[in-house]
Each structure stands twice: as C-alpha cells, then as structure tokens.
Amino acid sequence: MLMKCFIKPVAGELILSAVLMATMLQAGVDLPVAASESPTPRPSSVSSALVTVDPNSVLVDSFDGWGTSLCWWANVCGGYSNREAYARLAFTTLGLNIVRYNIGGGENPSITNSLSFRARVPGFEPAESTWNWNADQNQRWMLKRAVALGVNHVIAFANSPPWWMTVSHSVTGSTNGTDNNLQAGYEQAFSRYLVNVVSNLTLVDGVKFDAVTPMNEPAANWWVRGGLQEGCHMDAAQQSRVVNDLSSALAGTGLAPGIDAPEDNDEQSTINSLNGYDAPSRSKLTLIGAHTYGANGPAGLRSIALALRKPLWISEYADQDASGLPMARRIHDDITQCFAHAWVYWQVVDNYGGWGCLYNPEDGSGNTNYSYNEKFYVMWQFSHFIRPGCQVWNAGDTNSLVAYDATNHHLVIVTLNESTDFQHYQYDLSHLGSTGSKAECWRTSAGEKGAPLDAVPLTNGQFAAYAAPQSVTTYVIANVFLGSPQAIRHPLDGQGSQSEPPTRAALAGGKVGANRNP
C-alpha cells in the first residue's frame, strides 16, 4: 500500500519527504513503518543563534562525497535475493558515491576460525602461489552494482595480509596485539598480493580503483589472535616500508591507483603514524585516510594534511546510537575542523543495535529483511543535498554545515540541534550577490523522517527558523549567485593552504546537484 506523504505534521503518521519517498519507490524497497511521535509546536521564547554564510571563507574547495565500507555487510547482503534493494538504498536513496572494498586475507584453514560469520571475507590467495579468482562473489557483486548506480570513487583496503604471510599464522592478529603481524620477509609479497587483486578485478569486474591501502587501524593494539575480525598491527616503520613497496609494485603494472594511508583509528594515531614515515613514503601517498572514533586532534590532522599537500578523507566512523545525532555531530566537526574532503561511514548495514543506517542480522540464518534506524534519515539529510563538487563554507556557527553547488546555484545549510529544547536560528545570506526568495526545508527528528516543512521566506538576504529538539534540518536555497568573484580566505592563511583556490570553471566541472532525485 502506498504510504501518504504529508506536508503538514499529522499526529501518529510517519512524516516522510516526497523526495525521499520517490527514491525509495524507484528503488523498489520497502517503506518504513509509521512513527509514533508527532512534532512539538514551536515555542514562543527560545535562545537564538546566528549563522553567517561567508562565501569567501572556504573550508573545502571541492567536496569528494559520502561513502561506506563494503565489509562486512556486502559479504552477506550481496548474496541475498533482495540484494538490489540494499544496493539502491545505499547508492540511490542515500546517494553514497564512495565505497571501500575489502581485500580479504582469508583465515588459516588448519585452526579454529574465530571470525564472526559476516567478517569471514575470503582471500584470493588461500595458500602461497595458489589463487582463487572466484572468491568473494557477494562483496564483488555489491561493488559492481554500486559502480553501476553511480559510485565514482573506489578504495581497496586490507585488514590483514593472507594468513600465511603473518607471524601468528592467523588473520586476526598477533599473539599480544602490539607486535607487527606481517612477517618482514613478506612485506613485498603482500604489496604484490594487493596489486594482483586490484589488477585482476579491474580486468574481470571492470572496476576502476582510485587508491589502495595496505592497512586498517595499524597502530591499534586490539588485533589479537583469536579475535572476531581480521586485523594486523603495523608500527610506523613497517607501514612506511609497505607504502614504498606498494608504490613500486603499482608502478610496474600501468595501473593508476594511488596510495591511501594510514587509516588509523583516531586523529592522533594518524598523526603519529605519518610522523613516523620516511620522506619517500610520505611523498608517495595520494590520499590521507583517517578514522575519527577518537576526535582527539583535528587541528593537528588538518595541519599535517595541509603541510603534505594531500587531500584528507575521514574514511571511517561509526557509533551505536540509532538516532544519528552523534553521527551528525561527527560529520559536522570532521568537515569543519579537519577540512575533510570526503566522509565515509563504517557500514551502511549492521547487525548490532544502532550501528548501521539499516539493520539486518547478517548471521547466515536466511533472514534477508531489513529495518531502518533513524540514522538512515540523518545521513540522507546530508548526503542527498550536499553533493560531490560542492564548496564547503564557514558558517560562523558550531551546529551548521554550509555548502554551495556552483553548477546548479544551490546553497545548502544543514543544522544540528542536539539539545532537548528548541533553538532559534537567524541565517544571514547578505554576503551573497543574490538568492532565491525562499528556503526549502526538510527535517529528521524523533517523529519526522526527512519530513518536508513549509518553505521559509527570505527577506533582505536573511531568514529565521526554529530547530526542533534533537533534530537535523536541511535548508536549500535556489538561484544563489555570488556576485563579485570570491576573494577566498582559507582559515589557515599564513600557515600554508592545501591548494590554490579553484577557478569558477573548475567548480562547474564537478558532479553536483543539491536536489538530486535519481
């Protein structure tokens, strides 16, 4: 039965955006069940905040987009009879355009396999010099489908080398978690393994890889033999050697992928690893990938990326809060504090509580059903509207993210309210040359899932709106023109900037579209 779509809130009904519903119907996926709560009326008196949109204060020149890792959900869901629905929810409805493909190591068949069901990603070289190019069919299906649905950035990454290259003879880690588990004598062989996989999948599956990373959270001490997932501790010296080896292996193939590293668990660990690399390995990086499970050094991470003149991606983050509010906070802070050029969630589907945007048990039971966490809609509030190619501007506010689509002349503002009270915002767009007459609005909260709200009129380049308690609201203003050319001020002026300000023609070349409706 087709669910109704309401412009005005109706108690007890799900408030679902027509734009969001359209992409779900097009994808042929099940619509979510009705919400039980309705929005609270606007209060008469609340605190107020000012958002000043400044087109000359640019945080990110050209945003690369949003993404997800394919491991481990695609290793399971990629074999489901309804796998197309999963693919379309991730890559059409959410519009994710980046994937991290996991090159499995494959566990030692002679030991008890402690890996969880979903984490048993098969390797392509189960024994030395023995190759299996039929391996990993589920994840590879999802990878190919993602590309067909619009994904334009693919990163190949390894959690562990094949078991027979490891010290412990297990892909789960070393015996103590603090020793390197890649045997020094296999460092070059491991690089060749990765390059062989990327080369063959490029030919066989027709997938172009943007970058390869030989590690995942390598500085962590929790990769201990007998764990539930693949992992491999590498100190900075070994990371540096492997990066150099990988560069040499790639150079001999004619392939174009760059190298992404170090993919550490938190900002400070990323900084520490990079500081431990030698100059040649640092120069061979094309992308700095960092995880932000620990937001413990955004300024330092930003500075080292700028000093190395490498783009920075936040390539992994996740949390167990199904509301999506902590995720929204992390998105905002990672982009505005680290100047991240891309933001990637760990798994769009998960089997534990609120970790995923979607829930499925992923346990081999044959249950292919999925349910939505509120996090799904919060992700949509960002990823559907802020598209690749947008500039990210300073908002002068700690709760708002501002992006400009120079091709379609749309301005996008996403405002987060984590508090249990309403918040009043005054949005000042007077620094722009000209704007449309109104701001279109969508909101996700406890009782709203991408809900369309009444458009807010602009007067003299300004508008005011209320942010509902514990909500994420997206505003889209059409027909936005800058007037005079940008006199771009990078926030780190005087400390070196990552690149020259882009030309208007370069900005127009990106694949953008704030009101994208695939």
Instruction: Tell whether 69 and 49 lie within a shared domain.
Output: no
Instruction: Tell whether 345 and 457 lie within a shared domain.
Output: no
Burial level of 349, CB count in 10 A (0-12/13-18/19+)?
buried
Instruction: Tell whether 168 and 202 lie within a shared domain.
Output: yes
- For 53, the domain range is 15-59+393-508
User: Would 7 be classed as within a structural domain?
Assistant: no
Question: How much is the CA Rg of the chain, to the nearest whole Å?
Answer: 23
User: Would 5 be classed as within a structural domain?
Assistant: no
At residue 44, the pLDDT reads 56
The last residue of a domain, from among 385, 406, 439 = 385
At residue 47, the pLDDT reads 82
C-beta neighbour count of 85 within 10 angstroms: 20
**pLDDT < 70 regions, the chain:** 1-19, 21-45, 487-518
Instruction: Tell whether 54 and 71 lie within a shared domain.
Output: no
C-beta neighbour count of 142 within 10 angstroms: 25
User: Would 9 be classed as within a structural domain?
Assistant: no
User: Would 3 be classed as within a structural domain?
Assistant: no
At residue 252, the pLDDT reads 82
At residue 483, the pLDDT reads 81
User: Would 269 be classed as within a structural domain?
Assistant: yes
Report the SS3 class of residue 452.
strand
The last residue of a domain, from among 385, 409, 433 = 385
Q: What is the DSSP string of 397-435?
A: STTEEEEEETTTTEEEEEEEE-SSS-EEEEEE-TTSSB-
Of 246, 377, 257, 392, the residue nearest 314 (C-alpha) = 392
Instruction: Tell whether 398 and 354 lie within a shared domain.
Output: no
**Which amino acid is present at 317?**
Y
Q: How many domains does the chain have?
A: 2
For 378-403, the pLDDT digits (tens) are 999 999 999 999 999 999 999 999 99
d(CA 105, CA 181): 13
**Is 462 in contact with 48 (CB distance < 8 Å)?**
no
Instruction: Tell whether 107 and 210 lie within a shared domain.
Output: yes
For 271-288, the pLDDT digits (tens) are 999 999 999 999 999 999
Instruction: Tell whether 161 and 240 lie within a shared domain.
Output: yes
At residue 441, the pLDDT reads 98
Instruction: Tell whether 282 and 424 lie within a shared domain.
Output: no
At residue 499, the pLDDT reads 37
CA distances from 336 to 329, 385, 401 (A): 11, 17, 8
User: Would 112 be classed as within a structural domain?
Assistant: yes
Instruction: Tell whether 442 and 303 lie within a shared domain.
Output: no
Instruction: Tell whether 245 and 340 lie within a shared domain.
Output: yes
CATH number of the domain within which 456 lies: 2.60.40.1180
What are the start-end ranges of the H helices in 149-287? 187-204, 236-251, 267-275, 279-284
**Is 369 in contact with 333 (CB distance < 8 Å)?**
no
At residue 40, the pLDDT reads 44
User: Would 173 be classed as within a structural domain?
Assistant: yes
Instruction: Tell whether 44 and 100 lie within a shared domain.
Output: no
The last residue of a domain, from among 385, 412, 430 = 385
pTM over 0.75: yes
Of 426, 387, 380, the residue nearest 410 (C-alpha) = 387
User: Would 515 be classed as within a structural domain?
Assistant: no
CATH number of the domain within which 128 lies: 3.20.20.80
d(CA 130, CA 137): 18
Instruction: Tell whether 50 and 184 lie within a shared domain.
Output: no
